[in-house]
Structure 1
């Protein structure tokens, strides 16, 4: 280049590049010499950076509980001319906090935090991460635990703090969310299928199919079936609460031990309005314990006479019964004695006084022990004979 005649200077310019790299003020020099002045002279220009210091950030990933790792990206808003090193720290989140140390996340060992600088191809156990000059990010991961506890989605945080290099903010925080993959536990209701009314109390157990990380509540109550509330059992209701991790709770239903002989009766126990669980039902049958003496029955033997050859019997019980009782006589073949028709004496025998009395006899039924009762003849207008015919239920004449 030449300096025009009569001129003492000329302008020289060099284009600059407006990059995105955060960097300090840079310089550029220009030197010049002439044929007469072979020693060059130099000038220095400064390039002022207009990008400012990069800001530090940490991503907030969402990971399934069975996803093995929660992966964060630690980033700079723009590249830096120098390497940036950050320390990292894990902590429970503010909402539904997860537990570290391998319970929900982390490991408590050297694998607690791992770093990758090649987009996840290789991972290195490290307590710090370095973003190389000219790059903008590094990957950091920590393991998550696939438990069997039904729970809300949980959170934890990763805090990155600049320890070398320059960032506009000293630290950044990312929040990871672990989505639960466990099914809602079911509530199983167990208790006595039958119970003797003399037991006094029926106890029921409600069991969760699996421990829950949430508080589980369920309402319970009784419903009368053939058993009557207030008569056969006491109506019972309430709410059971399972603290996180608890799986068993119980409640009881009072049973009335009455004196009425009755058949088996039943009532139902049900669960309703659960929170964080599903429900089931159960039924219990109350067996009568015979405290009414089994309902013993007394049948009075009636007085018999020719005027009452077919008497009525009187029946009574020592306790009430909840159902009708039918009293049936045994078959005639089961009676201990039976009468026979009178034996008419020969005609010549009617002349004697004794012959005017009918001759009667009875015979026992084979297989029935006991003495034969004597005949009880009654005088009638014509020869005939009345006998007591006995049975366990009635006594009649024929």
Structure 2
């Protein structure tokens, strides 16, 4: 029986250093640029120098089996020479065996030693992986598509591993909410040749002039001959309408005076004609001497959704507080003209300013109820004394019933520019149908040599009364499976959604064996192979108001039952704070069996030429953890 090998990604720490271009360093390289190959293929490589040598360099090269044996490749042992004045030995070949056995990928190493000639290094190892091509592959489609009507793309199918024989596939499209008037039907036969792992199938959507909702159809890959673990995969496509008049949103972020303030303009959806937008800056707490107030006009081309405007600000040499001006966009091509945003100018003269900054940087934060806002308390520059700030929330049209009131005294230590922790204010989900509400986060500076003594951050709460389906990321352990409720995080009228009040429809890849019952419980079978699956989408519509619907996506990731983590300890040998000879990096690996069956004969497949000690582990029972068997000590290169 072949061993089960755990692949661990090892984080290696290398000190920075410059390479002497004239140094005669030898190395091994693959002719293809890849250090893996499918069994039955030949591995072609060479021994090389980075710079020529005045004398011949003689090298002994020998193969080491690692997990492989003589049935997997022809053992290699040879003495080769890089002639004086040349950089390479020429090409060398190792033939691998196509054995017909279903097994894990295996590896061998090539160890090269210089026996004659002057080189900076004397030994090199190269790790080569032989990829098995006998296990029936699993069909995966990892992507879904969102296309503007009238455009095309390709549907992608991937195999989990190469296979030793051809696989025949039929590809057919099927209507969803989109019909044949919306796209060109797909009906093709393809062959995935032996050894290849992907297939791309082109498709095209149809342009029309009808304002409508976005529509969907599917492209299904079905295996008609060849041995695969599953026989079909579904690729969902969403056609984005470009005939509905879009709305416009603006966003602007802080800028330091003297630099451009940028206003980002985004359409809610693409449109079939160009949209002309005129943006006009106007004074707020910042006067027209602080920025250039000249109107600007930009055109968003048909089918696109974005443009931006740059507004000059003035580096005036005046010590002043944080200032704002407004930017207003007007357009005959949008549904919500005019649209306004605030632009913030940070002073760079004299004393620093204290600011409250939401993580997105937009001073008029809009948060959906049930969510929350993260705020940073910071200064425009650090100072040598502490800055003490009292922060409170001040009601507006929103009250304590809409958000969690916040009161705290924060201290920014000397030499630091911000408070080390963020301020988080949650918004409450209620059962009221209401308009936009607002409150203010107010900061009062009580100690510290800063320019301003207070700062206000306005926050707007967006109502979430209608049905709201939230994205679901589902995790399952291979050979175990999982069942989760898709509707558990969805809401209706500000309350957790009751399945009796809605109609649930799904558009999922049925070939995976994943099921959803009438109550919205999704079950991932224990037989589903490890991988990441974009399952598709589901829609919930309110029974009492069928037009009140919300659609979201579902992703499923099946992970290995073998969990692995590691800790790294760096020992500074001489305590000088720099990387130097004698320093030690130690890795300790922790392995956990998260499955429901024992895992036996566990070893590490080491893709790096470092010394991992310990193992194999004879067995790990379900739920058992081992943190002492595998260790690694390595020494960084000195600068």
TM-score by length of 2: 0.18
- Is the strand fraction higher in 1 or 2? 2
- Larger RCO, structure (CA 8 Å, separation 6 or more): 1
Normalised TM-score (structure 1): 0.28
- The structure with the largest alpha-carbon Rg is 1
